[in-house]
Amino acid sequence: MQRVTGVVQHYAWGDPVFIPHLLGVEPDGQPWAELWLGTHPNGPSRLADGTPLADVTGQLPYLLKVLAAGEPLSLQTHPNADQARDGHARGIYPDPNPKPELLCALTPFQALCGVRPVEATLALLDELGIDRLARVVAADGPGAALAGLYRGSIDPLPAIEACVAHADERLEAEWAAKLAARYPGEPSVAATLLLNLVVLEPGQCLRLDAGNLHGYLHGAGIELMGNSDNVIRGGLTVKHVDVDELLAVVDPTPLADPVLAEANAYELPAAGVSLHRIGPGDTHVATGHELAVDLAGSTWYAAPGDEVAPAEVTYIVTR
């Protein structure tokens, strides 16, 4: 294997210490949100001698990241392959590729992930006394409730006020109240009540396929995704939002259990890759151009045929 140098992204929601500590450098006061490993033009990696990784591998179909969220990210979703091509042609997306994702927690990690099953949502809304939103979910489903919030036919304020009043009783209400303090009156605050709130322990993993409405709230993890930066935001951000495209792309099908069964390998079929976790005593032979990050903060490139025998727990992308 060869050492590879990634690119740090200093987005405002980043944690100022996790990635610096992982890499063994002093924090500088900036938010260190993501460390990118791959060939994406917005953050191309280089080998230790300065050679662009893409000169050796060509354009990789995936992007590997370390993500550290000190503050909540936007509520967002990503297009499938057809939607990405069509949206790119219309000037909506910066590239024509889908962006499926895996997120494996390195610390306790909280996230919103996919639409919660209807009965569980109705129970939550009943507990919080949010009647109007509950009636729409019961009668027409969570997709109609999302559309009503974003189109303005459902006032989000009663749901937000109920969450503020009950913030010490349910984690869902606590997060909605925190988000409302940052983004007063936003429909996306009420929309979080329709989504699964997930608390991951280190080693647990989520897969976010196309159309999954999600938002990372707090924590650090390893992220594997398609080689794309196509994001459609509904809110909880100062960045551009596109409600029309969000509602066209989002998949309101309830997701009963967002957390994947614990394993040493997690597949990301839409990108044709998998994320493997290997440790001391394990060996692995690369079958393609593979990138890896270990928990001592080293980042690696493995060429086809290279043997990987890590001294630390290592996450590696295989094809």
Give pLDDT tens digits along the chain (319 positions): 899 999 999 999 999 999 999 999 999 999 999 999 999 999 999 999 999 999 999 999 999 999 999 999 999 999 999 999 999 999 999 999 999 999 999 999 999 999 999 999 999 999 999 999 999 999 999 999 999 999 999 999 999 999 999 999 999 999 999 999 999 999 999 999 999 999 999 999 999 999 999 999 999 999 999 999 899 999 999 999 999 999 999 999 999 999 999 999 999 998 999 999 999 999 999 999 999 999 999 999 999 999 999 999 999 999 8
Q: ∠ CA(273), CA(41), CA(36), 5° rounding?
A: 55
Phi, psi of 243 (to 5 degrees): -65, -40
Q: How many Cβ atoms are within 10 Å of 254's Cβ, its own excluded?
A: 18
* HEC assignment per residue over the chain: CEEEECEEECCCCEECCHHHHHHCCCCCCCCECEEEEECCCCCCCEECCCCEHHHHHCCCCEEEEEEEECCCCCEEECCCHHHHHHHHHCCCCCCCCCCCEEEEECCCEEEEEEECCHHHHHHHHHHHCCHHHHHHHHHHCHHHHHHHHHHCCCCCHHHHHHHHHCCCCCHHHHHHHHHHHHCCCCHHHHHHHHEEEEEECCCCEEEECCCCCEEEEEEEEEEEEECCCCCEEEECCCCCCCHHHHHHHCCCCCCCCCECCCCCEEEEHHHCEEEEEECCCCCEECCCCEEEEECCCCEEEECCCCEECCCCCEEEEEC
* pTM to 2 decimal places: 0.94
CB 103 within 8 A of CB 208: yes
Find tokens 């630390």 and name the residue: 312
What does the chain come to in residues?
319
Considering Cα of 174, then 175, then 178, then 180, what sign does the dihedral take? negative
233 is an active site residue = yes
Instruction: Work out the angle between the directed axes of helices 131-140 and 118-128 (0-180°, nearest 10).
Output: 160
- Residue found by looking up tokens 């614990």 in the block: 262
Query: Which pLDDT belongs to residue 319?
Result: 84
Rounded CA-CA distance 31/166 in Å is 31
The residues facing 300 across adjacent strands are 3, 292
Report yes or no: 308 and 314 within 8 Å, Cβ to Cβ. yes
Pick among 3.90.870.30, 2.60.120.10, 3.90.550.10, 2.60.40.10: CATH of 2-113+198-268: 2.60.120.10
Catalytic residue among 3, 85, 207, 233: 233
Chain position carrying tokens 């509520």: 75
CA distance 305 to 289: 9
Residue 251, C-beta contacts closer than 8 angstroms, at least 6 positions apart: 77, 115, 209, 210, 211, 212, 213
Give the pLDDT confidence of 294-314 residue by residue, as tens digits. Answer: 999 999 999 999 999 999 999
Give, in order, the Cα–Cα distances in Å from 33 to each of 10, 38, 158.
5, 16, 33
**Sign of the dihedral defined by the CA atoms of residues 236, 239, 244, 249, in that order:** negative
Distance, in Å, from the CA atom of 319 to the CA atom of 317, rounded to the nearest integer, reads 7
